[in-house]
Structure 1
């Protein structure tokens, strides 16, 4: 495709060089530049793409997009813009021929619930006969190909490339998680959404956004995109959430809005909610009538996830019987209150809960189902929002019988300092209710050794992750694998003793 076509709708501040160049691809990584590529100099957290512009040209870049004046080789066309990230998103959408316009695109944003809701939406699309892709925290799915996710929402170039691949593999839809970082960094600019879902907003990522208000504004950007392109777009919003109600008020009559909830008189409402160890039952009331829903997932918070997915399915015109069938056959999402089978009379779950609200939800759920003691193992990530650490400790004190505080992903912070900040959430004189064990493997093993028949062990914070990040190294680590190895060794010891 010619460079002139790619930047046709880009508000360039200056252009030096020919626009008649053939562009073979778009990248923001100078190490991956191929001859004929358009290189976009993007400023990141730790590095600045402007430092590598000449390297990109040496590797064959035909053109470069940047925000700064620079003296460059005449071998490449220079395009100066105000916002390189937005330019990259729009250019990628054009280069890949607007692939989102050929897909039913459902975007899910919010602090908690994005992953499970996205998996539910994908199941509903496929129950309706629409082959669907997935972009989210756990994995990316393109046709039959599953790719481990590097981040919740990829960069704009990857998004458009994967959408294009989805079309080529016969996909007609995609469910995608849309993070606040992605919205703030224009990664989904150019994506034409059919439905945008708002799950909830609670404290997280304030290390990046600075305040809950800025965090909310980042999330709200998704809904400002609805109707801006070819599709009309519909908003699906949790009316039980304070920020959800604010969002509904802001959208007003300018957008088609579907609300959902349990406590509020929403468009889609859940009634008669019952949670058991086998799953969750509720009755859903819609404008088309009421229907019973049986979810094989446990937890009242999964009712909200299901309501969001139901609302999206109905907004897309999918028959309710197909929606009901899709939800009834859902499998637990990896690392989302994922049970680890045991034969020793106690239960073990691995969960991704890493915010105060998420930890409260999952502890409340397992607390209802636990006959004995509830033991929780968790920590908080380093180089992330410090304001949620003590509140998470407080929640563990309130809802668990015993807590073992341990390392999550410390990154560049001192693990012991993180743990001290989490422990500050426990009231004075409650040392007997918690223990600090920095080594995560040792902490998990201690919890399993403590467990007796009727108890529940919840290992929270990392969920599906298969690594642990330290200052200068990332090492393999899998909560579930640690549990399975321990249980396997226990079984072998039991057999020898017998």
Structure 2
């Protein structure tokens, strides 16, 4: 990449030293620097990459981009910029020749529903013959290649690299989950979106954002990026039933489609039913009334379907094509996913890890349960502590029996997290026998499954698709679905 192109991508820069004619790549981790690379030293939230400039130069970096004062004793040229974090995205986009400009890119943000909506959008795009890619919480999909996701939205270098590979492989449509962290950290600033979707906003990530207002502002950033996009059909698709929906687009000059259950939304449900067999939805849309049948289970998925309908309308798809595509999504891993092992009761695994998500999942489970309802859940360590007692209250209010256990405790003491959740459970649960505090997650799941009888339902919430559990510095193999299935198979084998 010619150095002149680097400078063109970095407004407000200052050059210190003699620039090389070109660089061979871009890196923001000194351990990944190859000879001839440009190293971007980003002040981090946990570590400051400026401390590793010497290591980057020793590994062959030909140029350093950083912010603030010039660094002393650096043997290569430096380019000073107002924000090194923003520079990473700009350079990555320029290096890969702005791949998002050649793709139909749908960005999805919100507290809950991003993953399911991304699967639905992917199916929509495939239904009209596009090769597709997905970037999200569960996995990254590039054509036939699938790999587990490291984080919901990767860093800017990886995003641009993935999009470039998608373009090379003939992929034309991409569904992308966009986290609030990614928006604050400028990971997606240099993407050109065709459609931006807002699912909902409820309490989460306050350990990072500090306040709900800051969290809401982070989500709005996606729609500011949409407004700046040069795409001719750029459209916002916003949940009108959520109080924060109007905030996402207030004051922005961008075409907007609202969706919701009420008739005030542009795309709204005329009628809908949700059973264990799936969802039947009749929706009014600008191009006409649409009727679809989805195998997805749960009242909360009605809103996810309506949001995906909005994407289809925004992209100019016919109602028949929208219904056909959305009807293809039978399940989403770890989202209201059933575990079958011959038991006479229902076992559901769900990623619900926020108060709103837990309430929606348990409310849906209660509606479809003929017998009693149990829930097994915990809360993540080193994360928003304020939601722990709230989730405890919700569990006690909606379930007959509550097993409070560990999620990913990380550096926190598992018992301390459990105690904070139990405090909320006890505010609602009059009978102490309704509460079981068991920090060992496998033991808690086993206890709930042993308790359940014919016609009952057990919801195992919080981790969903995750195949691991983080305890301290250890990442242990643990998948709620596999653990539940193993326990159930032993139970059924031992039954007379």
TM class, shorter-chain normalised? over 0.9
Deviations along 1:99-144, one digit per CA (max 9) or x if unpaired, are 0001000000000000000110011001111111000000000111
Do 1:7 and 1:91's aligned partners in 2 also have CA atoms closer than 8 Å? no
CA distance in 2, matches of 1:95, 1:65: 15
1:21 is paired with a residue whose SS is coil
Asked if 1:93 is matched to 2:97, the reply is: no
Do 1:12 and 1:79's aligned partners in 2 also have CA atoms closer than 8 Å? no
Which sections of structure 1, spanning at least 5 residues, go unmatched?
none
Q: Which residue of 1 aligns with 2:424?
A: 425
CA distance in 2, matches of 1:158, 1:303: 33
Q: Which residue of 1 aligns with 2:298?
A: 299
Q: Structure 1 residues 32 and 70, CA, compared in 2 at 3 Å: closer, same or farther? A: same
Do 2:287 and 2:313's aligned partners in 1 also have CA atoms closer than 8 Å? no
CA distance in 2, matches of 1:342, 1:175: 33
Asked if 1:38 is matched to 2:38, the reply is: yes
Asked if 1:110 is matched to 2:113, the reply is: no
2:228 is paired with a residue whose SS is coil
Mean Cα deviation higher: 385-394 or 8-17:
8-17
2:259 is paired with a residue whose SS is strand
Q: Which residue of 1 aligns with 2:82?
A: 82
CA distance in 1, matches of 2:477, 2:22: 43
CA distance in 2, matches of 1:421, 1:457: 22
The Cα of 1:203 is off from its aligned counterpart by 0.4
Deviations along 1:391-436, one digit per CA (max 9) or x if unpaired, are 1011101111111000001111111111111111124543222110
The Cα of 1:152 is off from its aligned counterpart by 0.3
Do 2:288 and 2:319's aligned partners in 1 also have CA atoms closer than 8 Å? no
The Cα of 1:11 is off from its aligned counterpart by 2.2
Asked if 1:134 is matched to 2:134, the reply is: yes
The TM-score normalised by the length of structure 2 is 0.97
Asked if 1:59 is matched to 2:59, the reply is: yes
The Cα of 1:493 is off from its aligned counterpart by 2.6
The Cα of 1:20 is off from its aligned counterpart by 4.2
Deviations along 1:193-238, one digit per CA (max 9) or x if unpaired, are 0000011100000111111110011100110112424214211000
The Cα of 1:176 is off from its aligned counterpart by 0.2
Q: Structure 1 residues 430 and 43, CA, compared in 2 at 3 Å: closer, same or farther? A: farther
Q: Which residue of 2 aligns with 1:482?
A: 483
Do 1:354 and 1:462's aligned partners in 2 also have CA atoms closer than 8 Å? yes
Q: Which residue of 2 aligns with 1:448?
A: 449
1:141 is paired with a residue whose SS is strand
The Cα of 1:311 is off from its aligned counterpart by 0.6
Do 2:237 and 2:310's aligned partners in 1 also have CA atoms closer than 8 Å? yes
1:425 is paired with a residue whose SS is helix
Asked if 1:269 is matched to 2:268, the reply is: yes
Q: Which residue of 2 aligns with 1:170?
A: 170
Q: Which residue of 1 aligns with 2:372?
A: 373
Q: Which residue of 1 aligns with 2:435?
A: 434
2:424 is paired with a residue whose SS is coil
2:237 is paired with a residue whose SS is strand
User: For 1:338-349, what aligned pairs fall within 5 Å after superposition?
Assistant: 338-349=337-348
Mean Cα deviation higher: 255-264 or 161-170:
255-264
CA distance in 1, matches of 2:12, 2:468: 42
The Cα of 1:26 is off from its aligned counterpart by 1.1
1:424 is paired with a residue whose SS is helix
1:288 is paired with a residue whose SS is coil
The Cα of 1:66 is off from its aligned counterpart by 1.2
Mean Cα deviation higher: 485-494 or 263-272:
485-494
Deviations along 1:222-276, one digit per CA (max 9) or x if unpaired, are 101124242142110000000002334333xx11000000035111001222111
Which sections of structure 2, spanning at least 5 residues, go unmatched?
none
2:483 is paired with a residue whose SS is helix
Q: Which residue of 2 aligns with 1:50?
A: 50
Deviations along 1:38-75, one digit per CA (max 9) or x if unpaired, are 1111233321111111100100111111124211433x
Q: Which residue of 1 aligns with 2:398?
A: 399
The Cα of 1:490 is off from its aligned counterpart by 2.5
Q: Which residue of 2 aligns with 1:206?
A: 206
Q: Which residue of 1 aligns with 2:358?
A: 359
CA distance in 1, matches of 2:145, 2:308: 23
Asked if 1:492 is matched to 2:493, the reply is: yes
1:226 is paired with a residue whose SS is helix
Asked if 1:383 is matched to 2:382, the reply is: yes
CA distance in 2, matches of 1:227, 1:358: 29
CA distance in 1, matches of 2:288, 2:11: 49
Do 1:4 and 1:20's aligned partners in 2 also have CA atoms closer than 8 Å? no
Do 1:99 and 1:164's aligned partners in 2 also have CA atoms closer than 8 Å? yes
Do 1:239 and 1:264's aligned partners in 2 also have CA atoms closer than 8 Å? no
Q: Which residue of 2 aligns with 1:239?
A: 240
The TM-score normalised by the length of structure 1 is 0.96
CA distance in 1, matches of 2:486, 2:246: 46
CA distance in 1, matches of 2:96, 2:483: 43
Do 2:20 and 2:63's aligned partners in 1 also have CA atoms closer than 8 Å? no
Q: Which residue of 2 aligns with 1:308?
A: 307
Give the CA RMSD over aligned residues: 1.3
